[in-house]
Amino acid sequence: MTNTLALQGTVPDVIDLLVGIRPGDALDTVRRHRLQARTHAHTSYLALFAPTAPVPGSVTLAERHAVAAFVAGLHQQPEAAGFYAAALVAHDAPPGLTPAIAAEIAHGAARGPYGRYPAGPLSAEDAEGPVYRVAPTARAVLGARLSAALEHANLLVFRPRDASPQALQELLNAGWSATDIVILSQLVAFLSFQIRVVVGLRALAAHPALPQTTEVQP
């Protein structure tokens, strides 16, 4: 595995890349105003996708990139989806994996959040929605372990309040250890953060404040 510290200087800041922020841009200044958040959003990315040896657990880089491509696809943010789809290809995805992930993105699409609350006053807010299962044809390509990861990732993306010990049991049954589950959960949850920062900053970049001027806009 690669060394995270060695990569820190060479891997471009992914959020800047996906938003299209260049040094000196107004949003570069805004992001650097929270420099620790900017730096550690990126070290979080590196810890998940270029982890430092000895790497805890047994989640392969191919698995990490396959789940990331799936999760980014579900969010339908084009730059992030394209970035993680390309990263999966770059990490020597075995034949058939990339098209299988693309098919599962379409198959797993939904609008969240939905799900159930503990029985009580909040039950009035329970919202039904699809419960995603990997399609049988894709399962043959992905295998039991990666299929279980995609099903859990879809739950975390769209209906996190439906999470349960039983959902973790399904991962354990498919060969995910407790440490592997923490890594998988962090990966999906981190992407839920990173992609939203990209969405928000892209909206801000596309919609700059009007200059402080007395001129009336035509």
Question: Minimum distance from CB of 13 to another protein (Å)?
Answer: 13
Coil, strand, or helix at residue 15?
helix
Question: Minimum distance from CB of 16 to another protein (Å)?
Answer: 13
Please say which residue, 42 or 139, places its beta carbon nearer to another protein.
42
Please say which residue, 166 or 214, places its beta carbon nearer to another protein.
166
Please say which residue, 142 or 201, places its beta carbon nearer to another protein.
201
Question: Minimum distance from CB of 147 to another protein (Å)?
Answer: 18
Say if CB 185 and CB 156 are below 8 A apart.
Answer: yes
Question: Minimum distance from CB of 173 to another protein (Å)?
Answer: 10
Cα–Cα distance, 137 to 142 (Å, whole number): 9
Task: Report the 10 Å Cβ neighbour count for 23.
Answer: 8
Cα–Cα distance, 34 to 192 (Å, whole number): 19
Question: Minimum distance from CB of 5 to another protein (Å)?
Answer: 10
Residue 49's closest CA among 191, 167, 212, 199? 191
Question: Which two tokens mark 67?
Answer: 């789940």
Please say which residue, 31 or 91, places its beta carbon nearer to another protein.
31
Question: Minimum distance from CB of 103 to another protein (Å)?
Answer: 18
Please say which residue, 141 or 159, places its beta carbon nearer to another protein.
159
Please say which residue, 90 or 206, places its beta carbon nearer to another protein.
206
